[in-house]
Amino acid sequence: MKHQAVHELTSNGKNQVLVQHKSLKLVLLFSLSTLVLVTVFIPIIFSSTSTTYYYSILFQNINSIPPSNSYNITTTTTTTNLSSSSSSSSSTSNISSSSTYKKKHCDIFTGDWVPNPEAPYYTNETCWVIHEHQNCIKYGRPDTEFMKWRWKPDGCELPIFDPAQFLELVSGKSMAFVGDSVSRNQMQSLICLLSRVEYPKDVSYTQDDRFKRYIYTTYNFTMATFWTPYLVKSSESDANRPVDIGYYNLYVDEFDEAWTTQIEEFDYVIISAGHWFFRPLVVYEKGQLVGCHYCLKDNVKDLDLVMYHGYRKAFRTAFKAINSLKNYKGVTYLRTFAPSHFDGVWNRGANCVRTKPFRSNETHLEGQQLEFYLTQVQEFREAEREGRKKGLKFRLLDTTKAMLMRPDGHPSRYGHWPQQNVTLSNDCVHWCLPGPIDSLNDFLLEMLKNEPLISAEEEEKKKMGYSNIDRKFFLVKKY
């Protein structure tokens, strides 16, 4: 019996070893099959765009800077189990305890332009704030299709701007547009869109059109614009020289106090800049001459690298100014670079004559404009990290791709009479009003509506130990 028991124990041990070896082989075989399935067969099923995104999620380092489409809207789908049927609703009110909630994130900055026959929602005759060089209809632009498009994100809808809803959201608050003339262009668009509900009262402290302030008395909402084409301290070398010959001195590590001393009181600050950096400029840092861009000065290095360095340092200094404000508690938005669409050199007769938008697969950022976009987003991310330490909120109004696809929306030669002598004979920088720039405020309103959700999500992730730049990897993206 003893030998039999030992024999059975030995046999069982051998069997167990064999089973373990077989199990290990099965596990290895299953793991290898899964890896092949995940990395080879699934991507083949998806489209090329989908495959690119699939690999980016599978292999991208979660701590790297995310792509541009990091800010998303959140819709809540509510499913309630009833005795006879199941229903879905976008409303979250009066939900029973048996309801389940599913969060769906949608990247509102990736999509295409689609026809919108109901547009425009104001005219050059109903909105008095339109500047002459943006008044394309007044100056004889023959086509009107450029006004009849709306932005359609992939996988969801971006609602058309609702002026009453906007004014209710910002009631008792204030908003500042900080930047160049394209920044002012967006504010003028916003005033025109809101004119269907109320006209503002001009309460500007100065007669200078570059620094305007308005109040919507019914809603106690203040809106202001601060002219700062370089975001930092600058001076014109010779104000009497033509703008395409003269240059600007740029002090990239010094605050432009024309706006940095004024924004502490504002609830929302929308910052943007770009096009002035293509002009002739001389860059100074720490009181020393760094170099220049297209300045034609003797014994001064004239390089594109100087322009890129100036651009990066300007945004870094601007964000530093915001983060250094003691009493500022507002939300800072970076409205990303809005590309121009010159078909050549801007001051040598170049034009923009296209009359329809590009499709998303017909154009892409490249060259200097791509470098500008990447630079400002990188500086934004760093400022966001620093600002978070003080409890400040930074948001990316990432509209570059959408505006890149609208070469049809500029005044071109329809911003003045043909016989007028103007510096920019064909304007492919600013935007017609009404026109594509109105959609920037569609984006803005959607982000304002979702601010409570975005803030709550950030707080939740903060408790979990995640940073804001991880947000991309918690989203569901559809193609």
Cβ(198)–Cβ(214) under 8 Å? no
**73-81 sheet: strands from edge to edge:** 86-89, 73-81, 100-106
Q: Which of 107, 398, 430, 439 is catalytic?
A: 430
**Residue the block writes with tokens 């809803």:** 165
Q: Is 181 a catalytic residue?
A: yes
Cβ(89)–Cβ(79) under 8 Å? no
Give strand ranges (E) for 148-217. 149-153, 174-179, 201-202, 211-216
For 254, other C-beta atoms within 10 Å of its C-beta total 17
- In angstroms, the CA 397 to CA 450 distance is 13
Q: Is 430 a catalytic residue?
A: yes
438-464 vs 181-194: helix crossing angle, rounded to 10:
100
Peptide bond into 120 cis (omega under 30): yes
- In angstroms, the CA 227 to CA 187 distance is 12
Q: Kindly state the tokens that stand for 145.
A: 């299709």
**Residue the block writes with tokens 């509102």:** 108
The DSSP result for 34-47, as a single string, is HHHIIIIIHHHHS-
Q: Which of 107, 427, 438, 442 is catalytic?
A: 427
Q: Kindly state the tokens that stand for 349.
A: 């007769």
Radius of gyration of the chain, Cα coordinates, nearest whole angstrom: 28
Residue 361: partners with Cβ closer than 8 Å, 6 or more residues away: none
Cβ(234)–Cβ(284) under 8 Å? no
Cβ(240)–Cβ(276) under 8 Å? no
Query: Which amino acid is present at 113?
Result: W
Q: Is 209 a catalytic residue?
A: no
Query: Could you tell me whether strands 232-236 and 288-293 are parallel, antiparallel, or unpaired per DSSP bridges?
Result: unpaired
Residue 180: partners with Cβ closer than 8 Å, 6 or more residues away: 227, 228, 229, 272, 273, 274, 275, 276
List the one residue out of 417, 434, 176 whose CA is nearest residue 442.
Answer: 434
Q: Which of 70, 181, 272, 412 is catalytic?
A: 181
**288-293 sheet: strands from edge to edge:** 232-236, 248-255, 281-285, 288-293
Give the residue numbers annotated as catalytic, written as ranges.
181, 427, 430
